[in-house]
């Protein structure tokens, strides 16, 4: 079998009504000329939703991420070999309108509830926001289960949520059990456990053109919400070794670093990977060249690559000032 290489995938676009145009204008996604687009799934192995390799020999065979997990498990996952599907989902979301207030179970709760998917922890990194944009992250201090239940029945949930005015670069970490909602006008990169276990607690009293509201899952949502967490604030970045690299999250389900790179420094070449882990690299600003990438073009703003564990450290060459995220399993 041919060796693996830095893998880029065909983005999976999702056209929900709350989407906007910034996946095209800021992240260079090909979303067509008129319609709004809500999400671009960059790395995904979730049942029928499959990332397909876009460049190199594996693209000719339309290889999916799930095939790679099934057939090249050790090469892809390194020390995490044995997983039966790729555990992380990386996407961009452009929320022109606010999303529902929701909460996700943890792995043990999802299993106890008999859900097909694991639990879900997730995180957002803000790429763009409007002055009036808000992110709802956690409950206000002292809000307990009874208070939240009362607020939902009274349709006054928002008064009990902790509100953040997001700034570009903010990283909001939402471990399973954190009540949260993405507000309107926010464009984020989202890293999450690959899972479809969402309990909708509140939908802002919205109805569709026929006067119907979307279903809520208040019982299970209240059961898995964590009342001990309180308000969630943006993560404090911690220096992570080489200059320009900071750790945003060191979680039990994923880790996330941010690289802020200036011009390439030939005296100190930067490498990603080489730790027997698979790495997800996504460019938020600028462009890079990755050693061994068979695509003819640099990986530009909005581009994502998966570096299989088995290919070892990969040289990262920034073409001018660049900001990227590096996500990996703990």
Residues tagged active-site: 200
Beta carbons within 8 Å of 60's beta carbon, 6+ residues apart: none
Beta strands in 57-98 (DSSP E): 88-95
CB 217 within 8 A of CB 203: no
Q: Length of the chain in residues, anyone?
A: 330
Beta carbons within 8 Å of 161's beta carbon, 6+ residues apart: 101, 136, 137, 138, 139, 140, 179, 181
CB atoms within 10 A of CB 248: 26
CA distance 134 to 138: 13
CA distance 217 to 126: 27
Q: Residue 67, CB half-sphere, CA atoms under 13 Å: how many?
A: 11
Region for 221 from its dihedrals, namely left if φ exceeds 0, alpha if ψ lies in -120 to 50, beta otherwise:
alpha
Chain centroid, CA 110 distance in Å: 20
CB 37 within 8 A of CB 19: yes
- Tokens 């939908």: give the residue: 203
State the DSSP string of 121-140: -EEEEEEE--TT--EEEEEP
Q: Token pair of 34, please?
A: 């008129």
Backbone angles phi, psi at 67, to 5 degrees: -60, -40
First to last CA, the chain: 29
């Amino acid at each position: 079998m041919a060796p693996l290489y830095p893998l880029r995938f065909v983005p999976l676009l999702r056209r929900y009504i709350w989407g906007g145009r910034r996946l095209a204008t800021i992240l260079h996604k090909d979303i067509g000329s008129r319609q709004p687009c809500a999400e671009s799934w960059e790395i995904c192995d979730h049942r029928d939703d499959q990332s397909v390799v876009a460049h190199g020999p594996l693209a000719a065979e339309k290889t999916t991420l799930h095939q790679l997990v099934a057939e090249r498990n050790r090469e892809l996952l390194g020390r995490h070999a044995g997983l039966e599907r790729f555990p992380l989902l990386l996407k961009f979301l452009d929320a022109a309108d606010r999303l529902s207030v929701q909460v996700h179970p943890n792995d043990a709760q999802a299993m106890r509830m008999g859900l097909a998917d694991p639990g879900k922890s997730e995180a957002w990194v803000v790429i763009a926001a409007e002055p009036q944009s808000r992110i709802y992250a956690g409950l206000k201090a002292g809000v307990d289960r009874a208070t939240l239940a009362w607020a939902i029945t009274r349709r006054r949930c928002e008064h009990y949520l902790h509100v953040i005015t997001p700034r570009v670069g903010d990283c909001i970490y939402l471990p399973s059990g954190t009540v949260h909602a993405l507000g309107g006008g926010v464009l984020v990169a989202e890293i999450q456990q690959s899972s479809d276990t969402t309990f909708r607690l509140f939908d802002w009293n919205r109805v569709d053109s026929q006067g119907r509201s979307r279903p809520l899952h208040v019982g299970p949502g209240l059961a898995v919400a964590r009342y001990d967490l309180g308000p969630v604030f943006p993560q404090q970045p911690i220096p992570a070794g080489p200059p320009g690299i900071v750790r945003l999250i060191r979680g039990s389900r994923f880790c996330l670093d941010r690289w802020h790179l200036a011009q390439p420094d030939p005296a100190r070449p930067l490498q990603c990977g080489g730790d027997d882990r698979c790495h997800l690299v996504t460019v938020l600003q600028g462009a890079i060249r990755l050693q061994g990438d068979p695509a003819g073009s640099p990986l530009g703003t909005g581009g994502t690559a998966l570096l299989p564990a088995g290919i070892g450290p990969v040289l990262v060459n920034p073409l001018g000032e660049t900001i990227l995220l590096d996500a990996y399993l703990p």
